[in-house]
Amino acid sequence: MAVSVKQMSLIVATLGILSFVFGIVAENNKPTAGKPIPGKDVVICKYPSDPTVAFGYLSFAFLIATTVSGCMSLVYPYKGKSVPQSALLQSTSFVVFFNIALLTGGLAAALLLWPTITEQLHLSHNVHHNLNAECPTAKTGLLGGGAFLSLDSALFWLVALMLADNAREDYFDEEEDQKGQYGQVLATDYDEPAHLKGSA
């Protein structure tokens, strides 16, 4: 099934929005702290049940899907025509936005994974032998920041896709112009000169 640039941009945008939404929901549902319950020589941290870890991993998964689909959208052979990477890399604007999309995607991944893994560790290792231990949770604000960077990354992929589409059109226009000039040269080369026609 052939995919158009518009369809690919909708896929990238949808995945980016889903990553953003799951990241925001994970941030909003994260508890501020757990409740320490003293036991015999230990402190057990009881945390309220919340979907922070699951939503954090979902946000990260959709971010990865956004990045993969964003990369694929740039090199996908639309209408069965592929463009060499060198043609895309000639556009300075494309290279800049491509690198920014990768950078924001990497930062978003770090900001989403760090608090999600930290929260999971707090929930699984909730027994402390230090009687003065508190019951912390992951740092507040990181998941929300990662969610916004994930959305930014999707937007930069869309800009890079538009610039790649422009570079693709320029490449095919130049190719057609070269073919047209080559065809005209061949046509004139094969035309028999008038003085030869008379001598024949």
Predicted local distance difference test score (pLDDT) of residue 28: 92
60 inside domain: yes
Predicted local distance difference test score (pLDDT) of residue 176: 65
170 inside domain: yes
74 inside domain: yes
Please tell me the distance from the alpha carbon of residue 32 to that of residue 26, in angstroms, as a whole number. 12
- Mean pLDDT for 177-187 is 53
Total-model pTM: 0.80
Q: Which two structure tokens, joined as six digits, stand for 178? A: 């070269």
Predicted local distance difference test score (pLDDT) of residue 82: 77
Angstrom CA distances, 109 to 27, 57, 65, 119, 121, stand at 15, 10, 12, 16, 18
Q: Is the Cβ–Cβ distance between 12 and 69 less than 8 Å?
A: yes
Predicted local distance difference test score (pLDDT) of residue 160: 93
Q: Which pLDDT tens digit goes with each residue over 70-100? A: 999 888 887 777 777 777 888 888 899 999 9
Predicted local distance difference test score (pLDDT) of residue 69: 95
Q: Which pLDDT tens digit goes with each residue over 149-175? A: 999 999 999 999 999 888 888 777 776
- In the Cβ-directed half-sphere of 17, how many Cα atoms lie within 13 Å? 7
Range of the domain at 29: 5-187
24 inside domain: yes
195 inside domain: no
Please tell me the distance from the alpha carbon of residue 187 to that of residue 22, in angstroms, as a whole number. 62
Higher pLDDT, 17 or 39: 17
Higher pLDDT, 133 or 119: 119
Q: Which pLDDT tens digit goes with each residue over 101-130? A: 999 999 999 999 999 999 998 888 888 777
Check pLDDT > 90 for residue 139. no
Instruction: Tally the domains of the chain.
Output: 1
196 inside domain: no
Q: Is the Cβ–Cβ distance between 43 and 174 less than 8 Å?
A: no
200 inside domain: no
28 inside domain: yes
